Amino acid sequence: MRDSESFPGLHAWLDTPLGRYVMAWEAARFDAQVADIFGYNAVQLGVPELDFLRANRMPFRFRAGAGNVGVETDYAALPFAAGSLDLVVLPHVLEFAANPHQVLREVERVLVPEGHVVIAGFNPASLFGVKRMLAGKTGCYPWRGQYLSLRRLKDWLALLSFETGSQASGCFLPAVEQPQWLERLRGLDWAGDRWWPIGGGVYVIHAIKRVQGIRLIMPKWDRKAGARALAPLVQKAGGQPGSPGMRLDAGDDTPRP
């Protein structure tokens, strides 16, 4: 596991007042998203300190990545068979991964058809995004990395044949670390959710892996031609069909007794 894949600074930030505030909001959103997703196997990639699969009822749920996890892995090369997982949750992996698009490709590979992925990320078009811009490249976690907008993430998912579903944005407060200021500014969450619903500091989005079915294309038959080909040989008598005692010899147009 490379250092760029383990995000040690992010894990330390989770224990700050702002980190706990963000994780509490995300945990509630993940609970709502995964509660009614059914299957057999579910995996959480990233943020092993929290269990974002706790509300899910699949028989086999585990965490993978670095740290206190069931499976240690590189997010860009998952050690799971293709089409073996029903649900993957990605809390804050893509914005700090060295190759986020490859991580999504791996998620698409290991998911079954109609499998689900739930992603949490930091929103660049928010007060958190402003904090990241001011921090620059030398900023500490989580004010670094490549924040992905919802629009860009949806484009990536569409290229991998995912259909995006519900999404939520929250944590509209500025990136302040003092508990007293977090408490005083709580009203911004209500105002932001009402007046600027896409401007939250973090978002959670749900997507489903779609696989196009095979459609059998049948030839377009000419019904009239088919009916003519199946019509019985017409008996003729005196040029009129149905007259007894007369027949039409093959290759001869003359009626004979």
In a domain, 226, yes or no: no
Number of structural domains the chain divides into: 1
In a domain, 231, yes or no: no
Q: Give the C-alpha separation, 123 to 132, whole Å.
A: 10
In a domain, 80, yes or no: yes
Closest by CA to 199, choosing from 134, 143, 93, 128, is: 128
33, pLDDT greater than 60: yes
Query: CB pairs under 8 A, 24+ apart, for 209-216?
Result: 209/108, 209/111, 209/112, 209/113, 209/114, 209/115, 209/116, 209/117, 209/160, 209/161, 209/162, 210/113, 210/114, 210/161, 210/162, 210/163, 211/113, 211/114, 211/161, 212/161
pLDDT for position 198: 86
**What are the residue ranges of helices labelled H in the chain?**
3-6, 8-13, 17-34, 100-110, 127-135, 150-159, 179-184, 187-195, 223-230
Which pLDDT band, with edges at 50, 70 and 90, does 76 fall under? very high
In a domain, 253, yes or no: no
**Which range marks the domain in which residue 201 is found?**
3-209
In a domain, 110, yes or no: yes
Confirm whether pTM is higher than 0.85.
no
Q: Give the C-alpha separation, 84 to 109, whole Å.
A: 9
In a domain, 65, yes or no: yes
In a domain, 23, yes or no: yes
Q: Are 13 and 142 in contact (CB under 8 A)?
A: yes
Q: Are 106 and 76 in contact (CB under 8 A)?
A: yes
**Which tens digit of pLDDT belongs to each residue from 191-250?**
887 888 888 999 999 999 998 764 555 566 555 555 555 455 555 445 555 555 455 454
Closest by CA to 33, choosing from 234, 42, 226, 95, is: 42
In a domain, 69, yes or no: yes
Amino acid making up residue 34: V
Please say whether the dihedral angle defined by the alpha carbons of residues 176, 181, 186 and 191, taken in this order, is positive or negative. negative
31, pLDDT greater than 50: yes
pLDDT for position 4: 36
Domain of 193, CATH number, reads 3.40.50.150
Whether omega for the bond prior to residue 142 falls within 30 degrees of 0, making it cis, is: yes
Which pLDDT band, with edges at 50, 70 and 90, does 253 fall under? low
